[in-house]
Amino acid sequence: MEDLKEIKEAKIKETIRLTKLASCAGCGAKAGAGLLKTLLTDLPVREDPNLIVGYDRSDDASVYVVNKDLAIVQTVDFFPPIVDDPELFGQIAACNALSDVYAMGGEPKTALNVMTISNQMDRETIHAILRGGYEKVYEAGAIITGGHTIEDLEPKYGLAVTGFVRPDKVLTNSGAREGDVLILTKKLGIGILTTAAKADLLDASLLSKIQEQMACLNKTARDVAVKYRVHACTDVTGFSLLGHAYEMAEGSGMSLHLESENILFWPDAFEMADMGFVPAGAYRNRDYAEPHVVWKKETPRPMQDILFDPQTSGGLLLSVDSRDAEACLRELQDSLDGVSQIGYVTAGDPALIVE
């Protein structure tokens, strides 16, 4: 097996590096949350009583009720290469897109490929990306039914996903309640580390570990969460922990307290941030979220960068009823690596208090 792995890695090195074809990597390429709000302002919103979650809610996916037992969850997500291995890129991009359905408490059912191809990509590279996507969708228990591909200067890949959920079981990012406990299911620092990886500054072992985290579905986290009284949920991706947490605070009309000492992150991310390897998306996230952040204690700049760091295929941020928090946290930690209890919710104006 090691010989096969070495041959595959050598073959990747012989071909064009996918990350060199893209100006941004992964979810770091997302338009900033502040820009999106500006772009969507004043667009006409059509009312439909069956649309219980739409784009005006700043949530992870839309939810449309079909009947009392069934609602459809829909989302689309795609981005430029975050790794050079094309099959792994396909897996991570698919995992990231599927995550939006999990964040709503849903079960993915069908998916459509969304892809742009560069003239510098050969047939096998394109097949490998698609193969990676198929593998991850199959792992999620869903199927790919088609897609759309166009030529572009930069390669991009992702999915449009449709899932199912019971209307009374939908999770949104706007239901956090006073007294809830905040749980995060993956470590932070992915954007910083993948930026450093483009400069060949990460050792192979660390790179393999962060790639494994990005390729890990949030299915298990969702499966555990729906057993408990979870009042709000979102996945932490391109807008960073603080960006997505503020959307939860704003949507819920609550203050979220984040205990920085309890937040798990990749230690090397602190060192790399201190050296200046911070993706452009982190600065967009800071512009958007920092006006709503209260720093209760001195927080080193590299730690701030980690909190604003855009995550690719990040974990779920759960706002859990305090009566269920201990049991939910224990089961998540028994099932997954990188789970941490990171704060709590209080009544007050929408804000983030970093303690």
Query: Active-site residues: which are they?
Result: 27
Is residue 150 within 8 A of residue 116, CB to CB? The reply is yes
Q: Which of 267, 245, 264, 265 is nearest to 256 (CA)?
A: 245
Residue by residue, DSSP assigns 70-87 as: EEEEEEEEEES-SSS-HH
From CA 77, how far away is CA 219, in angstroms rounded? 17
Which amino acid makes up residue 208?
A: S
From CA 256, how far away is CA 341, in angstroms rounded? 13
State how beta strands 143-151 and 107-117 pair: parallel
- Dihedral, CA atoms, 340, 343, 344, 347, nearest 10 degrees? -150
Q: How many CB atoms lie within 10 A of CB 202?
A: 21
Task: At 296, list the tokens.
Answer: 């209760």
From CA 317, how far away is CA 297, in angstroms rounded? 23
